[in-house]
Structure 1
Amino acid sequence: MKSSSPKDIKQGDLFLWLWREYLRRHMWVLAIVVVLMMIEGSMVGGLAWMMQPLFDGVFAGGSKSQLWLVGGIVFGLFLIRGVLSVVHRVLMTKIAKQSVADLQNDLLRHLLHLDLSFFSRYAPGYLMERVNGDVQAVAGIWALLVRGAARDLIGLISLFAVMLSIDWFWTFAALIGAPLLLFPSLVAQRYTRKQAVKAREVAGTMATRLNEAFHGVGTIKLNGLERYYTDRYRALTKRQIEVEIKTLFGTAVIPSLVDVMSGIGFACVIIYGGYEIISGAKTVGQFMA
């Protein structure tokens, strides 16, 4: 294993460490994935843009020629999104699996070269969980970052461009609830990260207890310790459920906050936009877009 390890690296530098140690090997494939994700993300803005001619030209205007044109373009956008989604998911999975395998192999080689005093401090089950579970969790971070930066960010930018092209004040009204989301989201993310760390620790302890029980089953049966070991493991499973529920709560809060913010913005757009549509200043197609 290289001189650095996941435990030595701050969370903010984790992606850079993964890139330097593992992802750089797949640089060109990763570049293709990013491009495909960016194209897929831009399709979101294209679909929003097509709402205006659909409602104004087809539904309100009754244009049959535009009906086929708009229908064909919308189908094409969905087709492109579908094809690109399959391709970049397959490529991303290939990179992720290979990176996880490389990281696990390096970590195991590193552990096996440590002295015996290290293994006297940590049980085999704990180390197994570190090699298997923690590596999977760490490797998932970069995939989330790539997906967020490439596909979701481009999708957000394209939607924002469509909003501004229609009406800047509608855009402001739609995003009026965004500042209210910032602080609660930061608190929820910090809470979720803490609970996720606890969940990994509980999982490591559970693996250790299982390892102790199965390796010492003869001693356990000889001394009648079946109930003792069962009770210890039952306590850990209860703790695991508590931690995972708390983690789920933290992850569920953020989408709920987004829904509230979206509801505030949508209500503002309906009220303000409704007056403009009624007065003839804006069209229904612009509102739908």
Structure 2
Amino acid sequence: MGKSSQKQPMFSPTDIDNIKWFWRNYLKDKSPWLLLVLAMVSAQALVYQQFLSLTENGLRVIFEDGSLSQLIKVCAFVFLLFGTRAVLSYVTPRISVWLASNAVRSMRQDLIKHLLRLDLSYFEKTKSGDIILRLVSQVDSLSHFVGQGTVAAVRDLATVIVVSGYLIYKSPLLFTAAMIVIPVLVLMMRGISGKIKEVQQSAENAFGNYMSGIEEMTNGMRTVKISGQEDRERDRLFEATNGIRDLMIRLNAVQALFPPSIDVVSAFVYVLVIGGGGYMVIQGGFGMDAAGIIAFLLGLVIMFDPLRLLASFFAQLQASLILLDSIRGVYREKMRITDHEGSVAEFNTEGDIKFDQVKFAYDPQHPLFEDLDLMIEGGKKTAIVGATGSGKTTVLSLITRLYDVDGGKITIDGLDVRDIKVKSLRSSFSVVAQDIVIFNDTIYENIRYVAPNATEEEIWAAAEAAEIADLMRARGSAPLGPKGSQLSGGQKQRIAIARAFLRSAPILLLDEATSALDQKTEEKIQGALQRLSKDKTTIIVAHRLSSVVAADKIYVLDMGQVVEQGSHAELIAKQGLYAAMYASQKEGYAT
């Protein structure tokens, strides 16, 4: 692994492509400001060149002329130079951070927009910790690097170039001898860069796992507490933090190779200049005197400090390239659920919904549906029941195009759902699900979430219809706690029902809407659901059969296949799987 890393170029084709992408999308339009920053950092570098020239003249004043007025004049110019540099040192980072913050804000906003357009499958296969890491930590680190690290590096590079130019002007021979070690530095940097990228990538993966672990712990804290597994969670997260620590130490160990390497090179060069320059002064004929050698040596001191910082910047650059590639990796994720050129926005939402020989698999090795046929009549209640894993909820996912079928087709009034614009299709559905998203806000705002432009009267009407208006009045502006922790399951369900009333779409999807409720609470909520489903095409997905008794038609799924269909009375009369499931659940209620 080490040898392969050393053979890698300092900048891979992917690195170069990512840098071009960032420049083209987020920095190119700010070119005038960037040129201003470049001019200011160049001016800071020129301060050092002028300082060297004034220092050399000042030394000659001391050693030769002995003029006090000339010495005062030199000192005044030096003070003026560094005063100018101080002003520029304040203004430059202010502008550069402003530029970088705006660029990275645009990138973060684009990242959010792209994420929200991605298919559901991306979020189901990607750990939330990885997404949070990219949106927060990696973007912030990149912002700091671009806004401060890069500008400082440009300033240091300008200093090296300007001071080098001055030293070459003073003595090309001495400068060439001093710079003979530069190829050694370049080879060393190339050898270390691959290792930095390797360790940084491992560190980012470890951070992603750590953040996912924290989220899993907080989401499952109720289970953790009840089962007394605090020590186990502590050990699990401690192990993750130990891994992050070890990787950070490894990364620092690699990055730390740069500064001492510069120091060793500096020592070699200083000795060479002192010895070689001293020989030039002693022998004469080289156009160098004591003041010139001192100024030359001072120039090297000034130049090698920025070189040391540039070496550290180079190490940070290798790590930041990993961050940039990780962030851009989100953009490489493509959307499969999209509109095509002939997609239509208008369709008959009251038509029949038909599954025609539908094939679908989450995993190609384990197909779920093979030639599935269903007919959901418009304006009627259709229930889909079956054991866990039979494909009930997947039916809803395919109708709403959260996934596309692998074969066959799904039509609404004869129109393939893939020929309907995604936004138009999904706007025709209202959903009441078991997994309800409740925000840490008021009940009023939680209901309004599905229709931000709804009037106050419409929101209160929806709350009244869902029988949660009294609680909304009682709680007023009080937030509901993270994920609605201050509400009961029945109260959360009523918020979901109120949202469906407010949205008032023509097709209603009830996905295990009462499965988490006790029988008494379910009976209370069923009244609101009955009002909600009136005159709408209603699809009920349920494991609890008491909620589907009134359906016009019931499909029984088993292992992705329809094994029975009919009304409740017809299925009971058949004495098949449905009748057995119903009898078992009824017996459970009785006990």
Query: Does the TM-score normalized on the shorter chain lie above 0.5?
Result: yes
Question: Partner amino acid for 1:277?
Answer: V
Please state how far the C-alpha of 1:266 moved relative to its aligned partner: 0.7
Please state how far the C-alpha of 1:123 moved relative to its aligned partner: 2.2
Aligned counterparts of 2:181 and 2:89: Cα–Cα separation in 1: 31
Aligned counterparts of 1:113 and 1:270: Cα–Cα separation in 2: 64
Comparing 112-121 with 23-32, which one deviates more in the overlay? 23-32
- Residues 216 and 60 of structure 1: CA distance in aligned 2, closer, same or farther (over 3 Å): farther
- Residues 98 and 105 of structure 1: CA distance in aligned 2, closer, same or farther (over 3 Å): same
Aligned counterparts of 1:98 and 1:63: Cα–Cα separation in 2: 53
Aligned counterparts of 1:156 and 1:14: Cα–Cα separation in 2: 27
Aligned counterparts of 2:198 and 2:55: Cα–Cα separation in 1: 43
Please state how far the C-alpha of 1:223 moved relative to its aligned partner: 2.2
- Residue of structure 1 equivalent to 2:192: 188
SS of residue paired to 1:177: helix
Contact 2:128 2:212 in 1 (8 A): yes
Is 1:126 aligned with 2:103?
Answer: no
Is 1:38 aligned with 2:33?
Answer: no
- Residue of structure 2 equivalent to 1:48: 52
- Residue of structure 1 equivalent to 2:402: none
- Residue of structure 2 equivalent to 1:4: none
1:229-248 alignment runs, 5 A limit: 229-248=233-252
Please state how far the C-alpha of 1:277 moved relative to its aligned partner: 2.7
Aligned counterparts of 2:236 and 2:50: Cα–Cα separation in 1: 57
Question: Partner amino acid for 2:42?
Answer: M
Comparing 51-60 with 260-269, which one deviates more in the overlay? 51-60
CA RMSD of aligned residues (A): 1.9
Is 1:283 aligned with 2:289?
Answer: yes
Aligned counterparts of 1:206 and 1:174: Cα–Cα separation in 2: 48
Contact 1:164 1:171 in 2 (8 A): yes
Please state how far the C-alpha of 1:212 moved relative to its aligned partner: 0.7
Please state how far the C-alpha of 1:154 moved relative to its aligned partner: 2.2
Question: Partner amino acid for 2:246?
Answer: E
Q: TM-score when scaled to structure 1?
A: 0.89
Please state how far the C-alpha of 1:128 moved relative to its aligned partner: 0.6
Contact 1:50 1:74 in 2 (8 A): yes
Contact 2:49 2:162 in 1 (8 A): yes
- Residue of structure 1 equivalent to 2:110: 106
1:155-170 alignment runs, 5 A limit: 155-170=159-174
Is 1:148 aligned with 2:150?
Answer: no
Percent of aligned positions that are identical? 26
Q: What are the superposed Cα offsets for residues 70-93 of structure 1, whole Å, 9 maximum, x if unpaired?
A: 111211211111111111100011
Higher relative contact order (CA 8 A, sep 6+): 1
Q: 2:221 aligns with which of 217, 223, 229?
A: 217
Aligned counterparts of 1:61 and 1:227: Cα–Cα separation in 2: 79
Question: Partner amino acid for 1:123?
Answer: K
1:32-111 alignment runs, 5 A limit: 32-111=36-115
Q: TM-score when scaled to structure 2?
A: 0.45
Question: Partner amino acid for 1:95?
Answer: L
- Residue of structure 2 equivalent to 1:199: 203
Q: What are the superposed Cα offsets for residues 159-211 of structure 1, whole Å, 9 maximum, x if unpaired?
A: 11211222122112322322222211221222222222222221111111111
Aligned counterparts of 1:24 and 1:159: Cα–Cα separation in 2: 29
Contact 1:177 1:262 in 2 (8 A): no
Contact 1:51 1:288 in 2 (8 A): no
Contact 2:96 2:151 in 1 (8 A): no
Gapped regions of structure 2 (runs ≥ 5) = 1-12, 296-591
Contact 1:202 1:240 in 2 (8 A): yes
Contact 1:176 1:264 in 2 (8 A): no
Aligned counterparts of 2:236 and 2:69: Cα–Cα separation in 1: 72
Contact 1:195 1:246 in 2 (8 A): yes
Question: Partner amino acid for 1:182?
Answer: V
Comparing 274-283 with 203-212, which one deviates more in the overlay? 274-283
Comparing 133-142 with 153-162, which one deviates more in the overlay? 133-142
Contact 1:174 1:262 in 2 (8 A): no
Question: Partner amino acid for 1:67?
Answer: L
Contact 1:129 1:207 in 2 (8 A): yes
Q: What are the superposed Cα offsets for residues 22-58 of structure 1, whole Å, 9 maximum, x if unpaired?
A: 1134332222112111211222222222221121223
Please state how far the C-alpha of 1:12 moved relative to its aligned partner: 1.4
- Residues 249 and 60 of structure 1: CA distance in aligned 2, closer, same or farther (over 3 Å): farther
SS of residue paired to 1:204: helix
Aligned counterparts of 1:238 and 1:60: Cα–Cα separation in 2: 64
Comparing 40-49 with 81-90, which one deviates more in the overlay? 40-49
| Greater radius of gyration (CA) | 2
Contact 1:56 1:283 in 2 (8 A): no
- Residue of structure 2 equivalent to 1:14: 18
- Residue of structure 1 equivalent to 2:176: 172
